[in-house]
Amino acid sequence: MVMLTSTVRGYAQDSWREVVTIKDFCNVYPGKARAILDHLNLDHKGLEKVKTAMKSGNQVLALHQLLEYYRNKPIASHLRKKQPRPTNRTVALADTLLTNTFVVQQVKGTVPWKKDGHRDWLFTGPNNDREWAWLSNRHKQLDSVREVYFRTGNVKYARYIDMFLRDFIIASWPYPGKQEWGLVWRGLEVSFRAKVWTRIFYNFTDSEHISPATKLLMLYSLPDHAHYNRNFHLGGNWLTMELSGLATVATYFPEFKMADQWMGYAIKTMSHSIQEQVYPDGAQKELTSHYHTVALRNFIEFKNICDDAKVKLPEPFSDNIRKMYDYTAKTMRPDGGRVLNNDGDRGNDRAFVLEGAEEFDRRDWRYVATNGERGEPPGKVPSCFYPWAGHLISRSDYGANAHWSFFDVGPWGSTHQHNDKLHISVAGYGRDLLVDAGRFAYTGEVAKKYRPYALSSFGHNVVIIDDKGQDEYTAVAGRPVDTRHYRVAAEYDYASGTMNNFKGLEGRAGHTRAVMYVRDAFWVVVDHITTDRPREIDVLWHWHPTCKVKKEGKIVKTNNPRGNLAIFQVSDQDFGIRLIKGEENPVQGWYSPEYNVYEPNITTDYNTRIDDATIFVWLLVPSAYTTPRVKSRLLAATDEEVTLSVRIDRKEWKLLIPFTNAANIRFSVK
């Protein structure tokens, strides 16, 4: 029998390690033992022995019968695991986790112990970043240790999970019962923990290495997690994640009295939410590809949970999942990476899209994800325009070395926005060329230094007027982009948009940008600046850090071993051209492909002064190796359109590019 260090009232928190058996739990936490039983519907099939023990007043026996019920009940069969054969095999990464050293968003930190005997679950990591604590408290690290245990059979990994959970749950008391933004009780962390704990609970129902007391602690705390996600969830993408946690508890613990109400609420709210969150073209309204994928994964997870519960969702739910998957597949870069925009990480969705292609039998998604090796092409042309998102994705083809670009003429986004309307990213021949700066970090020292740059126009390939970047504008579209502003044709793609709102700018000025991609050849970018007074203009182009960039007169080009881009100035303005890299005051020339990862990159700043309305025309020519011979000439320019000729080697194009009416496009080649 375990000897406790003190009586119930005087029980010291640093003796939580000694609470192991059911009897220990009942002796030390009698009120919480009772609360577990109070949460149960004792008339639920299979709980007869629990109810009988309760009637006799034997709380220890009732909880024993409850754990026996969970060990033998048929539900959650896919979560149950046969315990592995014991070995002494180890995995170095998991052994690091056993020292409470976790890598969170690329930052390694060791959670310290406090004087009260608990780990410091409020520890914000070496960069003093709340995100470090929040993500750590989602318990992904426990999932990693769990997987290693079942792979190796080494009991030290299971015992770590046992001690970790006992420590965390006891230290997290009391449950606040109200919405808060603490480092332990916040909706996202609550939801993720509920899902991780559910896997652990059923994986170890037949294991002696997770103590009965720890299993009871999970059963005590999970209703609090469900209560939080039910009553204090937010909207948008957060709601998607939070209610998937609620549905998890409701589905896999149907014995809880509130389970049916939780599930009913989750289905009703999620069905409404997916309609609210997703545009008719399949783009999630935050318009951040990273969070689009997060939302989609959580919608899929919710659907899978409902399938396990044998609950049928309304058909529009699955329709929206298919639309979101379609957006993910068809915006994907040739290397499988996603669009880097707003508060996103570049990431890679290739495997995810292939999963969707298998699930929904979509040969077109398979074709995109395999660079045309399997499946069938999505349509007659490889490019696409999403009219609600306002995103133009241009491609030369679906091969690994294809040209690819992203051009944004849509709304600002419902959250996680950057001031980057009319930004363009370009890739080709297996290399990123023109890039978005990324997100850097949300809190902590990195964010303090680089976050304003990430959010601002200065981190994007846009126009700056009088040293002023863009301000907020329409967050959510009430209607799609007018068809006059885009066209996807066999030989070219086109889109245009306007930004008139610049933060702190005196007087009136606006920027209209039209982009035409001539398939398998080049991009033309046309900038029309309107103004009521003389202005200083900066046109920014941010290069990927791997690009070797040089200036040759008015031409800025890369000199990479493979995958190059040259920017030609077609219009006749006198620009000062600077190549900026890793500047810190002010911040310019930095790139962050994922959270807490950043490095210097080159930004080309074309600077000039204008007296009145002015048009700039840029020609972006990609090449596998050396830049081809290029001749370009601006033939005519008005407030409505430009006409230019482009000759590359022996091929010549004549293009009329309008600012607002795609019907006026004229395209010829010889």
pLDDT tens per residue, range 62-104: 999 999 999 998 888 899 999 999 999 999 999 999 999 999 9
Within-domain flag for 64: no
Half-sphere exposure of 628 (CA within 13 A, CB side): 18
Q: Are residues 362 and 405 in the same domain?
A: no
Question: What is the Cα–Cα distance from 82 to 78, expressed in whole angstroms?
Answer: 11
Q: Are residues 180 and 263 in the same domain?
A: no
CA 357, 361, 364, 366 torsion-angle sign: positive
Residue 491 near residue 525 (C-beta atoms within 8 A): no
* Mean pLDDT calculated for residue range 367-374: 98
Residue 588 CB-density burial (10 A; 0-12 exposed, 13-18 middle, 19+ buried) = buried
User: Is 152 strand, coil or helix?
Assistant: helix
Averaged confidence pLDDT in the chain:
95
Amino acid at 566: A
Q: Could you read off the pLDDT of 249-294 as tens digits, one per residue?
A: 999 999 999 999 999 999 999 999 999 999 999 999 999 999 999 9
* Mean pLDDT calculated for residue range 624-644: 97
Residue 286 near residue 414 (C-beta atoms within 8 A): yes
State the chain's maximal CA–CA distance in angstroms.
95
Instruction: Give 198-238 as a DSSP string.
Output: HHHHHHTTT-SSS-HHHHHHHHHHHHHHHHHHHHS--SHHH
Block residue for tokens 């009553």: 231
- HEC profile for 325-375? HHHHHHHCCCCCECCCCCCCCCCECHHHHHHHHHHHCCHHHHHHHCCCCCC
Q: Is the pLDDT of residue 479 over 90?
A: yes
Domain boundary among 221, 243, 277: 221
User: Is 615 strand, coil or helix?
Assistant: strand
Percentage with pLDDT > 90 across the chain = 93
- Compare 10 and 324 and report the one with higher pLDDT: 324
pLDDT of 76: 87
User: Is 242 strand, coil or helix?
Assistant: helix
Question: What is the Cα–Cα distance from 62 to 54, expressed in whole angstroms?
Answer: 6
* Mean pLDDT calculated for residue range 583-593: 97
pLDDT of 14: 56
- Look up residue 355 and give its two tokens: 């999963």
Within-domain flag for 153: yes
Q: Are residues 502 and 630 in the same domain?
A: yes
Q: Is the pLDDT of residue 414 over 60?
A: yes
Cβ within 8 Å of residue 526, ≥6 positions away: 513, 514, 515, 516, 615, 616, 617, 618, 642, 657, 659
Question: What is the Cα–Cα distance from 431 to 564, expressed in whole angstroms?
Answer: 8
Within-domain flag for 596: yes
Q: Is the pLDDT of residue 404 over 80?
A: yes
CATH (domain of 135): 1.50.10.100
Angle at which helices 30-38 and 212-231 pack, to 10 degrees?
A: 60
pLDDT of 11: 40
Q: Are residues 425 and 448 in the same domain?
A: yes
Domain boundary among 221, 246, 279: 221
Q: Are residues 246 and 267 in the same domain?
A: yes
Question: What is the Cα–Cα distance from 341 to 407, expressed in whole angstroms?
Answer: 10
Backbone angles phi, psi at 100, to 5 degrees: 65, 30
For 458, other C-beta atoms within 10 Å of its C-beta total 24
Q: Are residues 625 and 515 in the same domain?
A: yes
Per-residue confidence band for 528, with pLDDT thresholds at 50, 70 and 90: very high
Question: What is the Cα–Cα distance from 481 to 138, expressed in whole angstroms?
Answer: 39
Beta strands 107-110 and 486-488, pairing class: unpaired
- Look up residue 439 and give its two tokens: 């997100």
- Compare 59 and 444 and report the one with higher pLDDT: 59
Backbone angles phi, psi at 387, to 5 degrees: -70, -25
Amino acid at 209: H
Q: Give how far the C-alpha of residue 629 lies from the chain's centroid of Cα atoms, to the nearest Å.
A: 41
Within-domain flag for 189: yes
Q: Are residues 208 and 270 in the same domain?
A: no
Indicate the number of domains in the chain.
3
Q: Are residues 365 and 398 in the same domain?
A: no
Q: Are residues 445 and 590 in the same domain?
A: yes
Q: Where are the beta strands (DSSP E) in 2-130?
A: 101-104, 107-110
Within-domain flag for 228: no
For 476, other C-beta atoms within 10 Å of its C-beta total 14
Domain boundary among 344, 379, 414: 379
Residue 620 near residue 567 (C-beta atoms within 8 A): yes
Within-domain flag for 23: no
* Mean pLDDT calculated for residue range 404-417: 97
pLDDT of 189: 97
Residue 56 near residue 210 (C-beta atoms within 8 A): no
Boundaries of domain holding 535 = 380-669
Q: Are residues 371 and 387 in the same domain?
A: no
Half-sphere exposure of 29 (CA within 13 A, CB side): 28
Q: Give how far the C-alpha of residue 640 lies from the chain's centroid of Cα atoms, to the nearest Å.
A: 38
Closest CA to 254 of 34, 82, 47, 25: 47
* Mean pLDDT calculated for residue range 440-467: 96
Q: Could you read off the pLDDT of 2-46 as tens digits, one per residue?
A: 333 333 333 444 578 899 999 999 999 999 999 999 999 999 999
Angle at which helices 212-231 and 259-277 pack, to 10 degrees?
A: 50
Backbone angles phi, psi at 76, to 5 degrees: 60, 35
Closest CA to 412 of 492, 487, 334, 499: 499
pLDDT of 469: 98
Q: Where are the beta strands (DSSP E) in 462-573?
A: 463-465, 486-488, 492-499, 509-518, 522-531, 535-542, 549-552, 555-558, 564-569
Q: Is the pLDDT of residue 438 over 50?
A: yes
Q: Are residues 348 and 238 in the same domain?
A: yes
Within-domain flag for 26: no
- DSSP letter at 319? H
CATH (domain of 530): 2.70.98.70
Within-domain flag for 614: yes
Closest CA to 68 of 41, 42, 45, 49: 49
Rg, the chain, Cα only: 29
Question: What is the Cα–Cα distance from 150 to 504, expressed in whole angstroms?
Answer: 58
Q: Are residues 421 and 360 in the same domain?
A: no
pTM value is: 0.89
- Compare 536 and 72 and report the one with higher pLDDT: 536
pLDDT of 324: 98
Q: Is the pLDDT of residue 237 over 90?
A: no
Q: Could you read off the pLDDT of 208-236 as tens digits, one per residue?
A: 999 999 999 999 999 999 999 999 999 98
Question: What is the Cα–Cα distance from 498 to 390, expressed in whole angstroms?
Answer: 12
